[in-house]
A and B are shown apart, each in its own frame.
Chain A
Amino acid sequence: MASTDIDTTPLPRWWHSRVVQRFFGHRLALLGLVMITLLTLACGIGPYLLPYDSLHIDLLARFAPPLTGGHYLGTDPLGRDVAARLLMAGRISLLVGFFAMLLATVLGTLIGVVAGYGGRTVNAVLMRLVDGFLSFPTIFLLLALAVALKPSPIMITVIIALTGWMEVARIVEAEVRSLKEREFVLAGRMLGLGRAHIMFREILPNCMGPIIVAATLTVARAILLEAYISFLGFGIQPPLPSWGNMLNGAQQYLGSAPWLAVVPGAAITVAVTSFNFIGDGLRDALDVRNDSF
């Protein structure tokens, strides 16, 4: 063995990795990423740039159509600027979606890992719990919980996560179960590593691909669910705007002020589509088996 042969080629940069290359080769995923970035930026800094404040009520300018009087997207029944409200609502909706995803992913991963690595009984109990939660139509459970636990933005986030962790749990459980007899796990066990160490330090890192994909799709789902329950009046409560509750009263003005319905719904669709596109791109890039969609 020639000990002088040292590999001097530089380590590949992260943006040269196959995953990143494949993700950026996925046109729809790229489009989704651009749209979400723009939307987030708009919601983040947009409200400071618009001429009107989202809470400014102007009863003389009620139902102003879009592009009149400096109201780019018109005004609502109280004369508030729809554009300003849309962007403020976007902050709430995107934050709720993001944190609900985070919570659901952590919860689903924990339960999935324990169920996958645990014995028959633990697995059976936890996976039947997953089935049990999946037996309820999401919106029924969500609305019942929203009424039971007073709806604040944090509570809404928590209950969306409570009804959205099952997919992740199923994916992680299947992944862990297929990994737990592999050599590196047996080696870890032989070394005398603790159960927790094997589950979370040895096995879990190998499941990251599917978890990342599921998490991305969970953001999309969470944004949709927040919109559903807020539209129905049981989610985020006014005066705090969210894309869902902006649509809450829109139906009665459909004939006279259709922009009140069109604008927030379009924002929801764009955000959710973007996350679904990104999820699809990540699935291709990370080589995750195509099972749910």
Chain B
Amino acid sequence: MAAFLFSRLLQSAALLVIVSIIGFTVLNLMPGGPLSQYALDPGMTQADIARISEQLGLNRPLYVQYLDWAWGLLSGDWGTSFRDGSPVIQVIARHVPATLLLMGSSTVIAVAVGTWIGIRGATHRYSGFDYVATVGAMIALSIPTFWFGLIGIYVFSLRLDWLPAGNMYTIGDGSVLNYLHHLIMPSVVLALVHIAIWSRFMRGATLDAISQDFVKTARAKGLSERRVVMKHVVGNALLPMITLAGVQVPSLLTGALVTETVFTWPGMGRLFLDSLGYSDYPVVMGLLMFSALLTIVANLVADITVALVDPRIRLA
């Protein structure tokens, strides 16, 4: 186990280095590079910019600058926001909970609905339900998330007036119920694509498990079909589900950005977009690196969890 942990941590560290190199490249592609802050300031002369770049050490070799920047990332110095001058890491931290709430609730919906559709599709293979679920999943993967959101707002907010069209809560009403009311539509919209992914995955995993010998044994023992499916089949599909949950993080973040924009949800995605609009590059870079970090950590946690739960991996 220790050896597995060590090698897995090493892999994540290596990935972190690569991700930071990609991030540093993007940073240097930004208009004005790290000095973009001043590029838009009319009071700055060319001489000022040259002086600042001397002061900040931007005339040093690129690899020295990279090491410096990467060290900043590691030690928590992510720069300051152009907009309000507060540290980037604090700005991001303020917006993380809203996004995690949205991602979490939509993952719960996606796993619950997707798993049910997948298992039913596999146990009733080639039935009408299975066919509709298969085609439906392919269409769900093709619908732009923001468009689905707009249609949702049109139907449920403007026509039926059942659900709020945006924001996280009504000002002056901080009750849990009010939050939930605002959470329903964004999380369902974000969940759609992931319901499709989970249901396809679950269908495959269930079909794989159904053809295994231990399922035949369970049936031969005279267990009810329901028990066979719930205990033996689903139980064995649970492990890869943990891995899939980790893999889904980047796509959840992509969906969250779009969903937050449509529903004016005050999370990381909206912050990213607003910061782009204000050319607040330190926050943009911070969020870019933070989202990659979140992905790497999620995958690491998923892999370690699987290893803890699955004895086969511990032995390997």
Contacts and interface: CB of A to CB of B under 8 A. Distances in A.
Binding between chains A and B: yes
B204 to A, nearest CB: 8
Contact of B151 (A145, A232, A255, A265): A265
Q: B-side binding surface: helix, strand, loop or mixed?
A: helix
Given A144-B26, A254-B153, A28 B144 contact: no
Interface stretch (B47-55, B80-88, B135-143): B135-143
Interface string A80-94: 000000000000000
A132 B15 contact: yes
A293 interface: yes
Interface string B184-223: 0000000000000000100010000000000000000000
Nearest to A260: B150
Interface stretch (B1-9, B69-77, B254-262): B254-262
Contacts, number: 136
Interface in A213-260: 220, 224, 227-228, 231-232, 234, 247, 250-251, 254-255, 258
B194 to A, nearest CB: 13
Q: How large is the interface on B (under 10, 10 to 19, 20 to 34, 35 or more residues)?
A: 35 or more
Given A135-B19, A148-B26, A280 B276 contact: no
B18 A137 contact: no
Given A145-B26, A269-B144, A276 B138 contact: yes
A272 B142 contact: yes
B272 A228 contact: no
Contacts of B276: 143-144, 147, 234
- Sorted nearest first, the 8 A-B pairs with minimum C-beta distance are A265-B147, A132-B18, A137-B253, A272-B142, A148-B29, A273-B142, A139-B254, A137-B250
B22 interface: yes
B312 to A, nearest CB: 21
A133 interface: yes
B287 A140 contact: yes
B261 A232 contact: yes
A129 B19 CA distance: 8
A277 B138 contact: yes
27 contacts: A128-B14, A132-B18, A132-B22, A135-B15, A135-B296, A136-B250, A136-B292, A137-B249, A137-B251, A137-B254, A137-B257, A139-B253, A139-B258, A140-B291, A143-B276, A145-B29, A148-B31, A247-B146, A251-B262, A254-B154, A254-B158, A255-B154, A258-B154, A261-B150, A265-B150, A269-B147, A276-B142
